[in-house]
Each structure stands twice: as C-alpha cells, then as structure tokens.
A and B are shown apart, each in its own frame.
Chain A
C-alpha cells in the first residue's frame, strides 16, 4: 500500500509491503525511515506483511501488520529520527485498513479507527500513549476499508456492504447493500461529507453522508454511480476535499481514470 501522511510540519509518503514499512520525503527523493518486520527463517503457514496506514494526532504515523498489531511511529518535524513509540495489540486478525478523523470528532469519539480481516473495528484516542476507546466486534466478514468523519465510521466490507457506525457508542447507524463484490476502496471528502466506494463489481459509487446536529439523525444518499466496464476497481480516491472529482484504478489497468463534473 502507499499513502500520504499529512502532518503539520511535513508530508511523508509511507509504503507497506511484505518486508515492512518505508517512509519517504513528499517528493519521493529520500527515504526517511524504514522498519523491517520480523520475517521467520522458514516460510510460516501465514503470510507476513504490513498493511493499513494513517497519520494521527499531528505527530504519529500508524501502520498495521498481519499479526494484528498496530505500530505507532513518532515522527519529528524534521529529519530522520523516527522512533517506534508504541505497539497496539487489540486486533487478533490481520489489519486491513485504518483512518484518522477527517472532520470534527464529538466527545468520546476518538481520532483513529483501525480495522481487520474479521471485521472488528477499534477506536483510539492518539497521544503519548494511545487509548482504546471502543471496539466494534466483526461478524466474520473482512472490513477491507474504513474512513472516519465527524465521529462516524464508514466501513466497507468484503461482501459489498457499507456500514456507518457511531464511533462514540459503537452503534450501527446505516447499512447499505452497496456493491455486488468485494469493496476495495473507500474515500471521504471532508468538506462535503461525500463518500466514494470502489469494488470488484466494476462500480464506483458516490454517497453523501450527513448528520442533523439537532436531531442527531444520520442520512446516506446515493449521488452517483460509474461503471468501469470490464474492470475490477482496486483504488478510488477523491481529488479535491469537496469531492467534485475522483480518480479510479483497476486490476490489469495501466491507466488512472479521472472523473469530474460535466
């Protein structure tokens, strides 16, 4: 995986693989840091890899592993002195994805969500020591991608479903039969609350999430659908914070497809 980690003082490009984690300068010219995963001598029955990347708390880069552990790296504003600050061990299955709060977190909602192959979600409050605020147990279906916005967790699953969870209470707020195949990507546009989902069924959907501040009612509206003919969509990202444009990638596709308003 590859992800931009936007911290106040710098932007890092973080890569995860079967070897471990690498962090690069924002122009990709210098490798700032690398962390090798403990790879056993003989191939074990289970694959070893790092997966799931998020910047949290204005200071940390978090990376998930196939062991279920989340590595928390403390990143200085300048230089290469990145240190492993903490290892969070709450997941029992390989980490799939993680996301930091992109809007305003209500009290008790936390600023980081981590997801794993069993569908379990953990909510964290970042800091010198990360605190586990809550755990939403999975139902056996892999949660392949996750986003966090205004205290709402948007989770995409391997069975094509999207679920919205209240981060503070752990309660389900919405369930969408969104896709006919494994969801590969979710992205959120913080200025508008638009949610982008891409899956192996060739479809990309744009949804609008909203929350009424007085009644606390949640709304999920379907805005738009695109079918990328004969392509299993592997990546989907908004290109602007309002979510007016988005880019899509797919298996066997050497192009990046960009969609925008007519």
Chain B
C-alpha cells in the first residue's frame, strides 16, 4: 500500500504539473486530489474515515506552517516529510529514485528564493487554513493545541536562525560609532539556536516540525465543534456552487489520469477504519452535521477534442511497468475509471 500511494504521489508527470507556477488549489480541488491519492492502492476508506483523515492532515499541516520559525523553514518541513517518506520505501529503489528526483527539483526551485518570497508562500498557505480550528486529540494531549482549537505559540526556546535573542538596544552616534548599550526585559524566554538545518539532499534538518507525529503510537481523534460561528461560514463556503470547480477537477483528472489503478477484488482489498470500531465509524458518519460534509463533485467525461488529445499525449508518454488492459478511447475511459473508484 505504501509503495502504491508513494509512487502515485511522486509520479513524474504529476510532479511536473505541480511544479508549474500556478494558483493555490481551492479547498474542493485539494480534497479531491487527496481522495484520489488515498485510494491509489487496494486500501479503501469510507466517508467518515476519509473525512477524519483529511481533517487530521489539514490541522497537522496548518500547525507546521504556522509554527515555522523562519519563512524559509517551510522548505525544511517539506524536507522532513520527504526524509520520512524515503524511509518508508527504502527497499524500493525505483520509487526511491522518484522521490529523490522530486527532492532535487525542490532544491533547485526553492533553495534560492528570498525570505520575502518564502513569507509570501507561507502567507498564502495560512490564508487557506484561516479559521480552521478542528481539535486533534494528539495535539490536545501534547498541549500543542488549546481546547478552543487554537495552537499554542510558545514564547520560549531557540530563536530562528538569523534572529537575535530579544533584549538589546544599541545606540550609535552620527559617525556610526556605538556609544551606548541598554537592555529591556520581556516575558519571553529565548535562547540562541545551536545550528542551522540542512537544505541539502541529505542532512540534519534540526527542525522537528514535519517529522513523524506517530513515532510513538497513540489513538487519534478529531473533533469539530458544531457551535462555532466560524464553522457555519466555512460550511457555507463549502456548499456554495463554484463554477471553476469543474474546470479544476477536470484538470486534476488530467494530472492523475495516466495512472494504472487496479480495482480491488473482494479478497485482496482492505478497508481502513480510522475509528476504534466499525460502529463508531458508522455513528460518526451519521452524526456528522450535513453542512460539514465534503461534497465531492463527479467528473464528467470531457468532449473537448483538445483535452482528449492532451490526455492521450500524457498517457503515451507515461512509463508504465505493467502492460495496461487494451482500451480504445483512453480519455473517456480514464475519467470513467476514476469516477468509478
């Protein structure tokens, strides 16, 4: 399952599309990509577990982006993600190579960006996550999140690399010579950092954000507060018809369209349940407020000749390990295939 999901995620064509300069996906589009990726193997999740998994991923990522000491550290967080992923597939050289390719591409594209550019990226991501306050039990337990769903921002610890510990005022005369030093006190309790994290393919990232939250096994629950006014407005945003959604989703179909996805047979497939029992999962599905459900839009087979040609071209260029079953109209078949999953 790990191999299938990771090799799907790091598919060369998909990555090429992702690296093209583009606007951030809408919430619906992101959820759709996530659903497709989560089902890229024989593993299945039903609606309740899928929702829970997505909520968990969303809040974990929001936490990581929010707490980055420097804007540039979002790249270190990404490298932590990739390091962990490489660990999962260390036995599969083919997939490992795919991940390393992406790693190199990230280094090439992002290492040279300025702090201001990274802050812009970070601000764009933070706007996406604004007003999301789903409570995650692993975060609540570790005192990383408050009971109102907001993250704890520590005012102690190492300052970011390149920042000085607050407290010093230096005065210079008109010739540029330092003439006075003074100190001021605050509630914060900061220290100097030891060293900077590595931005190379291999290295100590130093930053812990983005490392495996589950290196210690614990139960994970997510709670959505139904009484929050913010959630109501967020729910409205989810329901309101988005005329661009279909366009985005057709585009996504193109991205993931070239993948050879096997339909699970009765014996070899398995279902992942993120709750402790089947009954709990069923109950969660029934009690989840209607307005908070993620509605996934069905993709219609496109009739545009340009689109179909594009899909066929991508397919033609794909390097597929196994011979795919014969199919005359590739374009329409793929979309129908994705729809049927």
Q: Which residues in A have some Cβ–Cβ distance to B below 8 Å?
A: 43-47, 93-94, 96, 117-118, 140-142, 158-161, 166, 169, 171-182, 201-203, 205, 216-222, 225, 227, 229-232, 251-252, 254
Give the CA-CA distance A254 to B44 in the complex, in Å: 39
Q: Which residues of A contact B167 (CB under 8 A)?
A: 177
Give the CA-CA distance A175 to B167 in the complex, in Å: 11
The residue that B172 contacts in the complex, of A140, A173, A178, with Cβ under 8 A, is: A173
Could you jot down 10 A-B contacts, CB within 8 Å?
Answer: A43-B22, A118-B116, A158-B71, A158-B116, A159-B162, A171-B176, A174-B171, A177-B164, A217-B171, A251-B66
Q: Nearest chain-B residue to A162 (Cβ)?
A: B169
The residue that B171 contacts in the complex, of A44, A140, A178, A218, with Cβ under 8 A, is: A218
Give the CA-CA distance A141 to B23 in the complex, in Å: 26
Beta-carbon contacts under 8 Å, B118-176 to A? 119-120, 126, 130-131, 133, 146, 150-153, 155, 159-160, 162-176
B186 interface contact, C-beta 8 A: yes
The residue that B162 contacts in the complex, of A46, A141, A173, A232, with Cβ under 8 A, is: A141
Q: Nearest chain-B residue to A175 (Cβ)?
A: B170
Given A169-B174, A174-B169, A218-B171, A160–B163 Cβ distance below 8 Å?
yes
Complex contact B21–A181 (CB within 8 A): no
CB distance from B145 to the nearest CB of A (A): 10
Known: A158-B116, A177-B167, A202-B153; 14 extra A-B contacts, CB below 8 A, are: A43-B20, A93-B116, A117-B117, A140-B115, A142-B114, A176-B169, A178-B166, A180-B166, A182-B71, A203-B186, A218-B171, A222-B184, A251-B66, A252-B133
Complex contact B153–A230 (CB within 8 A): yes
B242 interface contact, C-beta 8 A: no
Interface secondary structure of A, over-half rule: loop
Q: Nearest chain-B residue to A232 (Cβ)?
A: B153
Give the CA-CA distance A254 to B127 in the complex, in Å: 13
Complex contact A142–B115 (CB within 8 A): yes
Complex contact B119–A172 (CB within 8 A): no
Give the CA-CA distance A101 to B168 in the complex, in Å: 27
Q: Which residues of A contact B159 (CB under 8 A)?
A: 160, 180
Interface centre among B66, B130, B163, B168 (most CB of A within 10 A): B163
The residue that A43 contacts in the complex, of B21, B160, B163, with Cβ under 8 A, is: B21
Q: Which residues of B contact A118 (CB under 8 A)?
A: 114, 116
Q: Which residues of A contact B169 (CB under 8 A)?
A: 174-177, 220, 222
Give the CA-CA distance A142 to B176 in the complex, in Å: 22
The residue that B155 contacts in the complex, of A140, A201, A221, A222, with Cβ under 8 A, is: A201
B199 interface contact, C-beta 8 A: no
Complex contact A220–B174 (CB within 8 A): no
Q: Nearest chain-A residue to B156 (Cβ)?
A: A180
